[in-house]
Amino acid sequence: MGDGEYTTGAEPRDAELAPVSANGVDEALATPDEAAAFQLRFLRLLERRTAIHTMGDSTSVPRHVAADLLRSICFVLGIDPDRPEVPRSLLSVDLEDEYRRRVDALGRRVDAAEKLWRDVCARMPLIENIALRDTLKNLGDFFTWYDYRSMAHETPVMIDYPLCHPVPETLQGIDYIEEYLRRLMIEAEFLARLEVEAIERVLRASAPDHIELLINLYEPVATNAIGLALAGKNLDQLVIAEPARIEIESRLRGPAGRRGRVLQDAAGALCNHLSIESTASRAYLSDLVPDLLARIEVSLPQRALRGVFVG
């Protein structure tokens, strides 16, 4: 075996492969006998997955491949490979059967995510933005390239389009894609409730090069919509004229502590006006308020809300 290879069945000797060793089971959560038994079952599972990956040709694989196979197994079983804790529910089960059961469940999640992707594509308004267009296409390719049986922790897709609220980078594999698509659907459904021409007016006012820039489309549109709701104006144009901006400024004057509540109330009123009933969608819009408030706190003293609520 070369220095860069790992032979299945051998005791790992470096931190990268530590989860397959006895140190990979927290003895505060397991007895020594349970830890040893789990270690053996885990190594046998890794050995079998390696054999399947190499089609039975070899018991040795490059160390980085062994590490990826191990991380994939950990992902499927719900084990954090960077922490020693193993769920107690895994200590007494047939690990092979449990792994197969969870892989089957993972396959169903992949199918559901692909359906969600198709729904997002159908729901997203036809707004010109290269990053959004390319990302939607690339997400479709994910379902071709994602190997949830051997590399379940990987996310083989290029995602350029930035969400208003980014997905945590700690998520991996289908966990990341599901959450990205869930958030993108929230944004798509919000934008779909508004006129495309009005959306494009806001985008041109906030970023003239919005077609080519890596910008989120939801954020400037939602910001203006909250502003119009605050001013008691309709959403027909979406861009904010000076009289409406003056009204917004007037309603934001007063103690700084109340501005956040005023904006949250406006976000709630906007959801009601647009018949947005989903708790997740309402929360997504509400979560825009803290960033919006920070921009307002900087701009309000200079009477420069034109840079926040565009027109």
> Among 44, 66, 93, where does a domain finish?
93
25 band by pLDDT with thresholds 50, 70 and 90? low
Where is pLDDT greater, at 101 or 302?
A: 101
Q: Do residues 207 and 173 both lie within one domain? A: no
Quick one: tokens of 161?
């389009």
> pLDDT band for position 56 (50/70/90)?
low
- CB neighbour burial string for 163-200, b if at least 16 within 10 angstroms, e if fewer: bbbebeeeeebbbbbbbbbebbbbbbbbbeebeeebbb
Q: Say if residue 133 is in the same domain as residue 236.
A: no
Do residues 218 and 304 share a domain?
A: yes
Q: Which amino acid is at 276?
A: I
Same domain for 20 and 100? Answer: no
Mean pLDDT rounded to a whole number for the chain: 89
Residue 24, pLDDT above cutoff 60? no
Indicate if 158 and 205 belong to the same structural domain: no
Going by C-beta distance under 8 Å and a sequence separation of 6 or more, which residues neighbour residue 22? 35, 36, 39
Gap between the Cα atoms of 306 and 249, Å rounded:
10
Residues 201 and 302 in one domain: yes
CB 98 within 8 A of CB 90: yes
State how far the Cα of 177 lies from the Cα of 179, in Å rounded to an integer.
5
How many domains, the chain?
3
Whether pLDDT at 140 is above 80? yes
pLDDT value of position 146: 97
Tell me the backbone φ, ψ of residue 41, rounded to 5 degrees: -65, -40
Q: Is the domain of 215 the same as that of 273? A: yes
User: How far apart, in whole angstroms, are the C-alpha atoms of residue 278 and residue 284?
Assistant: 10
Same domain, 81 and 127: no
Amino acid making up residue 237: Q
- The domain boundary, picked from 93, 117, 150, lies at 93
Shared-domain flag, residues 123 and 145: yes
| Number of residues that make up the chain | 311
User: Is residue 17 within 8 Å of 6, Cβ to Cβ?
Assistant: yes
pLDDT, average across residues 125-154: 96
User: Per-residue pLDDT tens for 87-105?
Assistant: 788 888 899 999 999 999 9
* Of 93, 123, 155, the domain-final residue: 93
Model pLDDT, residue 227: 97
Per-residue pLDDT of 142-165, as tens digits, reads 999 999 999 999 999 999 999 999
* 120 and 81 in a common domain: no
Which is more confidently placed, 239 or 300? 239
Domain co-membership, 17 together with 68? yes
The per-residue pLDDT for range 174-225, each reduced to its tens digit, is 999 999 999 999 999 999 999 999 999 999 999 999 999 999 999 999 999 9
Predicted confidence (pLDDT) at residue 302 exceeds the cutoff of 90: no
Picking from 50, 42, 148, the residue whose alpha carbon sits closest to that of residue 86 is: 42
Assessment of whether the complete model's pTM goes beyond 0.85:
yes
Do 18 and 113 have their domain in common? no
Query: Predicted confidence band at 289 (pLDDT cuts at 50, 70, 90)?
Result: very high
Q: What percent of the chain lies above the pLDDT cut of 90?
A: 71
* The pLDDT of residue 28 is above 60: no
Containing domain of residue 102, as a range? 94-192
